[in-house]
């Protein structure tokens, strides 16, 4: 009975670990995307700042385009900060799940042997 309960607990923990790892990878991809947006906005701002103030750009007056790019840059920074906080939280969750799996396997060496035998086959 305890053996079956431990096996079920392991499967649940394994599922949580896979899910959390997937969320971390997805968040990392989103962070890379936002980093790219931030860099593009920064580079655009640097180029725009070199132009005279009365320059008309392809879209709008320079001042409006500068404002738009500054907003994109700031939005990207805040989004990255928020994602970093979420990533840290998920990494803590992952560490907790990993510790729970270790504890479970230490409590039930038979379960550990079963898992090892399934992966070796």
The residues spanned by each domain of the chain are 1-119
Hey, how many other C-beta atoms are within 10 angstroms of the C-beta on 16?
A: 16
User: 54-101: per-residue pLDDT in tens?
Assistant: 888 877 888 889 999 999 999 999 999 999 999 999 999 999 999 999
- Taking CA atoms, 32 is separated from 35, 37, 42, 52, in Å, by 5, 9, 15, 33
pLDDT, residue 120, reads 55
Average pLDDT, the chain: 91
Question: How big is the CA angle at 92 (ends 36 and 29), to the nearest 5 degrees?
Answer: 20
CATH of domain 1-119: 1.10.287.370
């Amino acid at each position: 009975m305890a053996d079956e309960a431990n096996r079920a607990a392991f499967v649940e923990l394994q599922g949580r670990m896979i899910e959390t790892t997937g969320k971390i990878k997805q968040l990392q991809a989103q962070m890379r995307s936002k980093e790219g947006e931030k860099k593009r906005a920064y580079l655009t701002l640097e180029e725009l700042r070199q132009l005279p103030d009365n320059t008309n750009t392809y879209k709008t007056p320079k001042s409006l385009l500068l404002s738009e790019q500054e907003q994109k840059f700031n939005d990207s920074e805040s989004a990255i900060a928020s994602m970093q906080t979420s990533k840290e939280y998920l990494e803590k969750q992952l560490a907790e799940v990993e510790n729970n799996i270790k504890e479970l396997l230490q409590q039930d060496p038979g379960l550990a042997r079963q898992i090892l035998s399934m992966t070796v086959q």
